[in-house]
Amino acid sequence: MGDDQANSLLSAHKSSDSGLEVHLHPLVLLTISDYIARHVLRRQRGPIIGALLGQQSGREISLEHAFECSVVPAPGDTVILNEVWFLDRLQQYKDVHKTPALELVGWFTTAPITGPEPQHVSIHQQILKCYNETAVLLAFHPSAVLKREALGGKLPLTIYESVFESRRSEGQGAGDSTMEIVGGDAAHSSQLDLRFRELPYSIETGEAEMISVDFVARGGASSTADTTIAAKRGQTSNSNFPGGDLDPKTGGKPKIADAPVLTAEDEERMSFSCSIAACADRLVVITSLTARANAIKMLHARIQLLKSYLTNLPPSYMSYPPQSDTHATSESPPHTEINHPILRSIQALLSRLPLLLPDNRQAFRQERLAEKTDVQLINLLGTIGKSLKETRELGRKFSIVDQYRQSVKKGGQTMFVADDFYSPMTGGGDGGTSLTPFII
């Protein structure tokens, strides 16, 4: 709390009573994280600033897309948006996203956990004045990424709305009543001070975004596996390549002039090193299974948390109909504080479980058993058909051999093996070619 009171840009009213509901989409988070990663790896200078696109219907705001912005210096060691560049880029996004139509609903930047800083005010005032009077600010906290325990499992970001409050006197406390105006009315900007107030938000996603997030997650796992494989392959090639080391001047390629002819032992070693590439698919599968196992562990931890919360409720809430807690004593263990929104959420979750489980489990088992039996029957029919085909081929060959036996007995011929074929020859002849009799 001390950090929040020290920030003069935060509103004196901690809780927002404007009724704004913010729905944050995962695509915005992916864009912001990608922007920050590229900014850091490329060692770019300047602030990280971007625009948020979405829809605004009444008091509901959805943050669906984001893109980075170009800024120019402004008086007072601050920066503002490059209006010409920003208008062109904003129009391009509007032309692409026409159904549903998107508009500028806010902007994002990096900020400490304590809240926005003075250099953020100029850009926010520019957006309020020129584009949207109810624009929100999404502040990403890079310092909180390394301190996940301080966030309690929450995302390292905060969404703020802007309000204009009357200037506080030196003797006026943070809890005293102050006049405030929600939005960016320019008529009051000269008499009131711009303040930021935290807004609650929820994560909302669609089917397309779920596919995109899953694809990004799989791509990251594959790239990690490929990097590991490449490292191992490089180490193996460096140690097994005849002639010594790799040439750093040619980008890791072997020195052609120093490479002798490969011997049998060297070829065996190279084939062994190449077999490492076959492990790439296995590593991808292992990574996918590990991600699923971690998800199951997290689900189990959440279920245990709900179970412990319900177990520690007062006895009056553990029975139906509710009973008065008349046997409570001072020595009884402390119970969990009653939170009706949480209880209603748990009840809603339980009411949705029948949608995942069939109503008639016995009929479901029979149907599942019937489908399983059909699949096994088809496999069995395929095996029988293959066996019949092999039996028919064996009978055909036996028929040919048996017919030849009968013809030999009647005509006095004998089958001899000459080179790589069978040829019927009349017995008793002395030829120059050595013929071996084929005994059936």
Region 416-426: what's the mean pLDDT?
Answer: 44
CA angle 386, 389, 390 (to 5 degrees): 90
Higher pLDDT, 148 or 222: 148
- Going by pLDDT thresholds of 50, 70 and 90, the confidence category of residue 328 is low
Give the C-alpha separation, 160 to 163, whole Å: 10
The pLDDT tens digits for 383-400 are 999 999 999 999 999 999
Q: Are 157 and 203 in contact (CB under 8 A)?
A: no
The per-residue pLDDT for 439 is: 46
Q: Is the pTM for the entire model greater than 0.85?
A: no
Give the C-alpha separation, 399 to 46, whole Å: 88
The overall average pLDDT reported for the chain is 75
- Asked whether residue 273 carries a pLDDT value surpassing 60, the answer given is no
Higher pLDDT, 239 or 299: 299
- Going by pLDDT thresholds of 50, 70 and 90, the confidence category of residue 341 is confident
- Asked whether residue 220 carries a pLDDT value surpassing 60, the answer given is no
175 DSSP assignment: T
- Asked whether residue 261 carries a pLDDT value surpassing 60, the answer given is no
CA distance to 321, 397, 398, 413, per residue, from 418 (Å) = 98, 20, 22, 15
Q: Which two tokens stand for residue 398?
A: 């036996």
Helices (H), 7-47: 26-41
The per-residue pLDDT for 324 is: 56
Q: Are 265 and 273 in contact (CB under 8 A)?
A: no
The pLDDT tens digits for 120-177 are 999 999 999 999 988 999 999 988 877 765 555 678 899 999 888 876 554 454 445 4
Q: Are 63 and 106 in contact (CB under 8 A)?
A: yes
What would you report as the CA-atom Rg of the chain, rounded to the nearest whole angstrom?
38
User: Between the CA atoms of 399, 400, 402 and 407, what dihedral angle is there, to the nearest 10 degrees?
Assistant: 140
3-state helix, strand, coil in the chain (%, to 5): 50, 20, 30
